[in-house]
Amino acid sequence: MDHARRGDRPMSRLDSMLRRLTAQRDGLNWAALQISGIPGEVLDMGLGNGRTYDHLREILPGRRIRVMDRVLQCHPSCTPPEADFLMGEAEPMLERLAAEGAPIVLAHYDFGMGIKADDVAEAARLSPLIARVMVPGGLIISGQPLVGFTPVAAPDSIPPERYLFYRA
Amino acid sequence: MDHARRGDRPMSRLDSMLRRLTAQRDGLNWAALQISGIPGEVLDMGLGNGRTYDHLREILPGRRIRVMDRVLQCHPSCTPPEADFLMGEAEPMLERLAAEGAPIVLAHYDFGMGIKADDVAEAARLSPLIARVMVPGGLIISGQPLVGFTPVAAPDSIPPERYLFYRA
């Protein structure tokens, strides 16, 4: 997997996960500050166990947070309100959001099965649909490369290969 | 779950996991230094996805590392050598290690299903069996309270409630 090098020895999967989660947390915290002046909602693409969603609702208590996933299988403490959970495939759910006119000011993209080529292709395929729900100036934090958005330099503390930042 | 307080607001599950994994990594690194003068093997109780095992083999490249779990379901890159993997219930596997005379100088205890009362009872029940495989002066890092060992003060960077340290 991602056996990055640390000095002259490989990084353990424990170190690697710590780097990834730290980058994620720092990126979310940074993005929350960036959008503080812009009205709009938040979109978490990929609920998973709910860790990111839990963090988003902690750092953005005043925002409506929409959450998307094929299934609801998060930790019970992180279950989103029914009205905010979009259960299903990404395409129809993004289309539903776009039809509703949901004004997304911060999106977190975390889809992917760990097969890099497939994950990159999916992210490219979904990018135009994501663009339709974003408000101008909104930010996207992504674990996969997206297309059609303006890359944004992340804070220095975030290893650039771990998370990607875009402005809509 | 463990919604520790951070200042005046609860800690998100992302923050909480980061704290737990950081404590684990710092604790393992510290323990590896502590035992550097003592010959013996390492025992990882609870393979899981193999993250801790991967870290142990990174920081203790010269040691034999025994790994115990009911099933082998780790990340493929972290599969232990067959001779070092003890697949089965903890009691018979610890008895097998004791009968073999395995000299464990560093043990990591990570059993538990997340139901605190059950996990504490299991850790207490297994403690005398763990004692039989440890060499005098060996260290144990545990996510649950163990009985019959001498508690050791952990480095300051490790929140005391997250990981427990014992000397055999």
Interface test with A, best of B56, B58, B141, B162 (most A CBs within 10 A): B58
Residues A86, A45: Cα–Cα separation, whole Å: 9
Torsion, Cα B133 B67 B40 B148, to 10 degrees, reads -30
Name residues 42-101 of chain A within 8 A of B (Cβ): 49-52, 54-55, 57-59, 75, 77-78
Pairing of strands B85-87, B65-69: parallel
DSSP string, A140-165: EEESS--SSSEE-PPPTTS-TTT-EE
* Range in B66-70, B75-79, B145-149, B158-162 with the lowest mean pLDDT: B158-162
Q: What is the CATH number of the domain that holds A152?
A: 3.40.50.150
- Interval B126-147 mean pLDDT: 96
pLDDT value for B94: 97
* Range in A10-19, B48-57, B94-103 with the lowest mean pLDDT: A10-19
Q: Which stretches of chain A score pLDDT less than 50?
A: 1-6
Residue B144 has pLDDT above 50, yes or no: yes
- Interval B137-155 mean pLDDT: 93
**Contact: A75, B50; criterion CB under 8 Å:** no
- Interval B45-57 mean pLDDT: 94
Residue B129 has pLDDT above 90, yes or no: yes
Range of the domain at A37: 5-167
Name residues 97-156 of chain B within 8 A of A (Cβ): none
Instruction: For A103-123, write each residue's pLDDT tens digit.
Output: 999 999 999 988 899 999 999
Residues A167, A141: Cα–Cα separation, whole Å: 9
CA distance A121 to chain B (A): 24
Q: What is the CA radius of gyration of chain B?
A: 16
Residue B6 included in any domain: no
CA distance B6 to chain A (A): 11
Question: What residues pair up with B108 in beta bridges, in sequence order?
Answer: B44, B141
Residue B162 has pLDDT above 80, yes or no: no
Residue B4 included in any domain: no
pLDDT value for B8: 54
Q: How many domains does chain B have?
A: 1
CA distance B115 to chain A (A): 14
Of A12, A49, A75, the CB nearest to B54: A12
CA distance A72 to chain B (A): 17
Structure tokens at B120: 């504490």
The predicted complex's ipTM stands at 0.86
**Contact: A17, B13; criterion CB under 8 Å:** no
